[in-house]
A and B are shown apart, each in its own frame.
Chain A
């Protein structure tokens, strides 16, 4: 097992606390935290802050928002109903066609990215 350095540990401590590291990286981090008081203190800080953030809870939507959304959807539905069926299908076909063209245009780029020898997740040992 390799010894972990503090500078690379700092980047990985959060992922370790989130239980998102691959088993080997997790073992390396646990060993490092056993022997490094500075990184162990940072881990405690992050753990503490995580707990406080989770305790904040969600920002709550106003009670009438669902009603307003439903009303907007009902109007949209009525507009769709009012239009000739052919026009609706034409629009949907155009949208799908656009999405297909966009995906095809991005293919060479995506292929080049995933073909890179050092795909980041693999290099740093994050779970997939």
Chain B
């Protein structure tokens, strides 16, 4: 996981050095952004935003491995977008309630809705689609723990550093995330069985 920093070439521009170090981690960064936001277009925007921020702060980067630093920026951008989305939904919900009273029509569809976004995650059918659906229903903080551990194979120490929490918190988040995930899977399977009957 610790990619050695390539020998810096004095003739390279700062942008070229940044690209050389940061672009190879795009898959891991996108995976985190996608699972946090559960929406492809949002994840793509978040990635562009995060890479731009990282480039503008590249002079502050110290060390050999850019990945944890970059992932932290992606995470921050994604969580900020999640909270903006939540705030916008609250505002629209209020506006929509008002709008409803005046014309009888709802305007909530204008806001990216969590459940609608989650549908993008659940493409296809079968066991993997069920698992993706269950994962998408977890709260973001638990979804993040599962994605970092199970999909990115990060150690608890690496997750603790990335999320700025003690290692004990990582462990309890993962324990809760796994327990929640099992519950959701059981619920989905029960729903599917009753729908099939």
Interface residues of A (CB under 8 A from B): 10-15, 18, 20, 45-46, 49-50, 52-62, 65-66, 68-70, 72-74, 76-77, 92, 95-96, 99, 119-121, 123-124, 126-128
Min distance, Cβ A123 to any Cβ of chain B, angstroms: 7
Contact of A126 with B156 in the complex, beta carbons under 8 Å: yes
Give the residue name and chain of the B residue nearest to A65 (CB). B44
Contact of A69 with B26 in the complex, beta carbons under 8 Å: yes
Q: Is B71 an interface residue (CB 8 A)?
A: no
Give the residue name and chain of the B residue nearest to A113 (CB). B166
Which of A14, A49, A65 lies in contact with B171, CB distance below 8 A?
Answer: A14
In the assembled complex, 19 residue pairs joining A and B whose CB atoms fall closer than 8 Å, in A order, are A10-B179, A11-B175, A15-B156, A15-B171, A18-B149, A52-B127, A52-B128, A56-B132, A59-B43, A60-B30, A65-B44, A68-B44, A95-B57, A120-B167, A120-B169, A121-B166, A124-B168, A126-B156, A126-B168
Rounded to whole angstroms, the CA-CA distance of A96 and B152 in the bound complex is 31
Which of A56, A73, A124 lies in contact with B151, CB distance below 8 A?
Answer: A56
Rounded to whole angstroms, the CA-CA distance of A62 and B171 in the bound complex is 33
Q: Is B52 an interface residue (CB 8 A)?
A: yes
CB neighbours (8 Å) of A15 from chain B are 156, 171, 174-175
CB neighbours (8 Å) of A58 from chain B are 27-28, 30-31, 151-152
Rounded to whole angstroms, the CA-CA distance of A125 and B40 in the bound complex is 39
Contact of A73 with B131 in the complex, beta carbons under 8 Å: no
Whether A53 contacts B27 in the complex (CB less than 8 A), given A10-B175, A59-B34, A65-B44, comes out as no
Contact of B47 with A69 in the complex, beta carbons under 8 Å: yes
6 closest cross-chain pairs (CB), A and B:
A120-B168, A61-B30, A53-B150, A58-B31, A59-B34, A121-B167
CB neighbours (8 Å) of B151 from chain A are 53-54, 56-58
Give the residue name and chain of the B residue nearest to A74 (CB). B15
Contact of B174 with A72 in the complex, beta carbons under 8 Å: no
For chain B, the bracket of interface size reads: 35 or more
Contact of A69 with B48 in the complex, beta carbons under 8 Å: yes
Which of A18, A65, A77, A96 lies in contact with B47, CB distance below 8 A?
Answer: A65
CB neighbours (8 Å) of B174 from chain A are 14-15, 18
Q: Is B155 an interface residue (CB 8 A)?
A: yes
Contact of B182 with A49 in the complex, beta carbons under 8 Å: yes
Min distance, Cβ B58 to any Cβ of chain A, angstroms: 10
Chain B residues numbered 113-138 whose CB sits less than 8 Å from any CB in chain A: 127-128, 131-132, 135
Contact of B30 with A72 in the complex, beta carbons under 8 Å: no
Q: Is B18 an interface residue (CB 8 A)?
A: yes
Q: Is B153 an interface residue (CB 8 A)?
A: yes
Whether A61 contacts B47 in the complex (CB less than 8 A), given A18-B156, A120-B166, A126-B167, comes out as yes
Q: Is B79 an interface residue (CB 8 A)?
A: no
Rounded to whole angstroms, the CA-CA distance of A49 and B14 in the bound complex is 43
Most buried by B among A53, A65, A99, A121: A53
Contact of B44 with A66 in the complex, beta carbons under 8 Å: no
